[in-house]
Chain A
């Protein structure tokens, strides 16, 4: 079946540090890949996505590249801010007979001033 594995948190960084949150997946077919973010007290919202191999999704300074050869979709940001503190979820969706979106367990990011 499909699965998503994220690095465990919490990830604690100082403001302006470089961020990487690793995400790898296993899937049948050709999945689309997503990063969702959940800010404190809010619902999940899409951060970025990529629908085919080698695509790069980007938003709010965050980037992730769909790497089919390494089955990865790592999230990066060059300079984090305190306001980026949240829980980040990697997810995939596949086409085919059974469409079941699959989420990772989430990685908590804490950014200190």
Chain B
């Protein structure tokens, strides 16, 4: 079956622009995670959804970052007034349920470059 997909794969933005990154999780997966991955680092947690409910957004670095999953499937991560420090790969992952032993399935990521 289809895996997690993300779009766009690459995005170049001018400083101050708003961007929207899309994630299509595996059908039927309850949990959805967003991560930020800087070059040479591991994924850093941003936010977590269980169905349409955003249960944890403690990793969002500022109020310029906003995520939603209105129907419990597709999710969008929006970054307003982008800054150069926002340049990173943004990863989306989904899992069947919220459980500490549950495997996460990752998308290919969106590479964001802010000039």
Contact = CB atoms under 8 A, between A and B. Distances in A.
Interface in B1-57: 4, 33, 35, 40-45, 48, 55-56
A33 to B, nearest CB: 9
Interface in A32-65: 32, 34, 36, 42-46, 49, 51
Nearest to A45: B106
Given A44-B91, A93-B101, A100 B106 contact: no
Interface of B: 4, 33, 35, 40-45, 48, 55-56, 58-59, 91, 93, 98-109
Contacts of B4: 43
Interface of A: 4, 30-32, 34, 36, 42-46, 49, 51, 89, 91, 93-95, 98-106
Contacts of A49: 101, 103
Interface of B is mostly: loop
Given A42-B108, A43-B106, A100 B48 contact: yes
A75 to B, nearest CB: 14
Given A101-B33, A103-B43, A105-B42, A95 B100 contact: yes
Contact of A44 (B43, B44, B48, B58): B43
A79 B41 CA distance: 27
Given A46-B105, A94-B100, A98-B56, 5 more contacts: A43-B106, A44-B91, A44-B106, A45-B105, A100-B59
